[in-house]
């Protein structure tokens, strides 16, 4: 059975550290001017959609993206909740380091494993599996009941936090997680079943040039 509600997920747009090619992780970094502009365009992708409730991480780049989206939608009274469960993956010792310099040091294969694999360790940081362990329970406990009530819920989070959520939503096996991406400028609308798993998926995008 398809639930009456709609789940909408969006990734924050370009931050200052995205622009510099740095691993941001749990560090608080603002959007660039380009990120603000594109966040407004992302909001326009949902023109005519009423948002019943919105969620973002505790990090300022998602808060700024969400604010831009709701402003262009003229949705000024939406209940908003910020949760650390939606925070970006903690990159531990790699936080603040330049990704492309690191790729040269460790090699392409290790670099891609570090960024994209399910359970690849990061010194003093999180694996994607660990991110999944906090994001999915939050979704099941806080958001799914509202989808059962027919509400439209907007979640603005981070690349890896959303990849973890999509792994559950789309029932993606661990061995295929590396191929999963949540693009900058994408807004994804899901209708889900009683377990909160995808029945239908609608991807809307704005043109985005982010080297991150």
Catalytic center residues: 12, 88
Q: Two tokens at 140? A: 């099941």
Rounded to an integer, what distance in angstroms lies between the CA atom of residue 177 and that of residue 38? 27
* Start-end of H helices in 5-158: 16-20, 33-44, 60-72, 99-106, 108-116, 128-138, 144-148
Q: Extract the runs of DSSP E, i.e. beta strands, from the chain.
A: 6-11, 53-56, 80-82, 152-157, 186-192, 198-205
Q: Given 3-state DSSP classes, what are the helix, strand and coil percentages for the chain, each rounded to the nearest 5?
A: 45, 20, 40
């Amino acid at each position: 059975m398809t639930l009456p509600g709609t789940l909408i997920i969006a990734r924050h747009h370009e931050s200052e550290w995205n622009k510099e090619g740095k691993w941001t992780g749990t560090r608080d970094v603002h959007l660039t001017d380009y990120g603000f502009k594109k966040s407004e365009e992302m909001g326009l992708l949902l023109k005519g959609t009423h948002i019943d409730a919105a969620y973002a991480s505790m990090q300022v780049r998602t808060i700024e993206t969400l604010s831009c989206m709701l402003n262009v939608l003229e949705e000024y009274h939406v209940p908003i909740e910020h949760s650390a469960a939606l925070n970006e993956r903690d990159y531990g010792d790699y936080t603040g380091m330049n990704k492309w310099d690191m790729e040269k040091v460790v090699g392409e294969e290790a670099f891609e494993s570090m960024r994209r694999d399910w359970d690849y360790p990061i010194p003093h940081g999180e694996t994607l599996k660990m991110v999944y362990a906090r994001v999915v329970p939050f979704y099941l406990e806080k958001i799914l009941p509202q989808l059962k009530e027919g509400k439209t819920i907007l979640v603005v989070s981070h690349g890896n936090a959303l990849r973890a959520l999509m792994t559950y939503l789309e029932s993606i096996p661990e061995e295929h997680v590396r191929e999963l991406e949540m693009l900058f400028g994408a807004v994804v609308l899901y209708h889900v079943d009683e377990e909160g798993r995808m029945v239908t998926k609608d991807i809307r995008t704005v043109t985005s040039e982010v080297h991150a």
